[in-house]
Amino acid sequence: MTKESILIIDDEETIRDGCRQTLQKSGYDVFTAAGGSEGIKMAREIKPFLVFVDLKMPGISGTEVIDILSNDIPDIVLVVITGYASIVSAVESMKKGVYDYLPKPFTPDQLRAVTKRGLEHRNLKIEARRLKEEKESMEKNFITFVSHEMRSPLVTIQQYIEALRSVMGAQLSKDVLDIIERCNKRIQNLQDLVEHWLDVSRIENGTFLKDKKPIGLGSIINKSVEELGPLCERRGLSIRYDVSDNLPDIMGDKESILRVFVNIIGNATKYTPSGGEISVSTEYDDYYVSVNVSDTGIGIPQEHLPFIFESFYRVKGKQERQKGSGLGLTFCKRIMDAYGGKIDVSSKEGKGTTFTLRFPR
């Protein structure tokens, strides 16, 4: 194991020599510097574990030395040496992240005690950082692991079903083919659930919204309408949108907002009977940009409205065209929260539902 290295920066020769003797006897690697600039140079080279800095020196001040060292050398622990008269500045420097101070005159025992504590502090600091990094990497890997381990069996089952249909399809009766198709649908639902759950986990661990840029909601609305166009057509719904001129940009990332829009508009297609209409409109004021998604669907009973953003909440007895994952609106709400925005809903049974997404400008 490499010896623990300690640097003493002090303009008084007696202090340097005294410290050197005491600390060398305790088994440390000791370096000394007579001034701030020399000390900084030396510290950059040897990267000491612990540095004692005299606060009052001619030339570059102790405070400046502290600033530079704490910035340049990772995990360094700094202790200031100070006369009784400058206790105040010692306290000031502790606010800057200095670990401790040693008032002059001090005894070898005091020096050893501070040194020991300082080095322990360094180890704890390093350990804490390591644990934090480990925790973060575990969280990240967990998502990666789950996405692979949960998706691949589903993909494989679907491939088997596909093989079954392709090899045997012609010989199977309609009843059997129906069963196979139902299996396929259920697996698809499970896959959607995994995707949504991953999305929600990604919000929690901060993968979404990592880099925010100014973006125009108009183009995203455009894209989501384009994406859902074929589905609307299949379900006999018309969709129209009306984006205000000069709609101000908001800060965010396109993908997350696109997913919110696709979710909300996708919901509208599920609960709107054929022949109905979905409309998307925008408005803005000095503080907010809002997007409204309205449908002429079956609506949501008042008593259910407060709960629909909760995970796996379902409005019983509602005729859905397609069972959802139960996490779609949870995802939307979390994303809107992450934007510092808001998602609201108003609905009239039998008339339709409007979702309003409000983004801060």
Partner 1 sequence: MEKNKILLIDDDKDFLIATKLILENGGYEVFLAEDGKSGVEMSKAVSPDLIIIDMMMETWSEGFNVVSKIRTTESGKKLPLIMLSAVDLQGPYNSFEPPEEMPTVDMVLHKPIKAADLLKYVGQLLV
The Cα–Cα gap between 82 and 90 comes to 7
Given 87, 138, 163, 179, the residue binding partner 1 (CB under 8 A): 163
Q: Taking CB under 8 A as the rule, does residue 160 contact partner 1?
A: yes
Residue from 208, 261, 271, 309 touching partner 1 (CB under 8 A): that is 208
Kindly state the smallest distance separating residue 134's Cβ from partner 1, in Å: 17
Is 152 a residue that touches partner 1 (CB under 8 A)?
A: yes
Binding status of residue 155 toward partner 1 by CB under 8 A: yes
Find the distance separating the first CA and the last CA of the chain, reported in whole Å: 56
| Given 121, 165, 223, 314, the residue binding partner 1 (CB under 8 A) | 165
Residue 242: other Cβ atoms inside 10 A: 10
Q: Which residue lies nearer to partner 1 by CB, 152 or 322?
A: 152
- Residue 104 to residue 83: CA distance in whole angstroms: 5
Q: Single out the residue of 31, 33, 98 nearest to residue 64, CA to CA.
A: 98
Residues pairing with 344 in the sheet: 356
Determine, following the binding rule CB under 8 A, whether residue 201 of this chain makes contact with partner 1.
no
Q: How far is the CB of 21 from partner 1 (least distance, A)?
A: 54
Longest dimension (CA), the chain: 99
> x/- site string to partner 1, residues 247 to 276, per CB under 8 A?
--------x---------------------
Q: Provide the β-strand partners of residue 206.
A: none
Question: Considering the rule CB under 8 A, would residue 230 count as an interface residue with partner 1?
Answer: no
Choice between 162 and 310, CB closer to partner 1: 162
For residue 57, the minimal CB distance to partner 1 (Å) is 50
CB 199 within 8 A of CB 259: yes
Alpha helices of the chain — where are they, by DSSP H?
A: 13-25, 36-46, 62-72, 87-95, 108-168, 174-204, 217-234, 254-270, 328-338
Q: Least separation, in Å, of the C-beta of 207 and partner 1?
A: 6
Choose the binding region for partner 1 from 63-71, 138-146, 216-224, 234-242 (rule: CB under 8 A).
138-146
Q: How far apart are CA 34 and CA 9, in angstroms?
A: 6
Q: Does 144 bind partner 1 (CB under 8 A)?
A: yes
Binding part of the chain for partner 1, among 88-96, 149-157, 219-227, 304-312 by CB under 8 A, reads 149-157
Q: Smallest gap, in angstroms, from Cβ of residue 194 to partner 1?
A: 12
Min. distance of Cβ 258 from partner 1 in angstroms?
A: 10
Question: How many residues sit in the footprint of partner 1 (CB under 8 A)?
Answer: 20
223 binds partner 1 (CB under 8 A): no
Q: Is the distance from CB of 318 to CB of 271 less than 8 angstroms?
A: yes
Q: Which long-range contacts (CB under 8 A, 24 or more apart) does 115-119 make?
A: 115/6, 115/23, 115/26, 115/28, 115/50, 118/50, 118/77, 118/79, 119/4, 119/49, 119/50, 119/77
- DSSP 3-state of 213: strand
Using alpha carbons only, give the angle 289, 293, 294 rounded to the nearest 5 degrees.
Answer: 135
Q: Whole-number minimum distance, CB 302 to partner 1, in Å?
A: 36
Work out the number of other CB atoms within 10 angstroms of the CB of residue 145: 11
The CB-of-143 to partner 1 minimum distance in angstroms stands at 8
Q: Is 174 or 210 the residue whose CB approaches partner 1 more closely?
A: 210
Which residues are at the interface with partner 1 (CB under 8 A)?
140, 143-144, 148, 151-152, 155-156, 158-160, 162-163, 165-167, 202, 207-208, 255
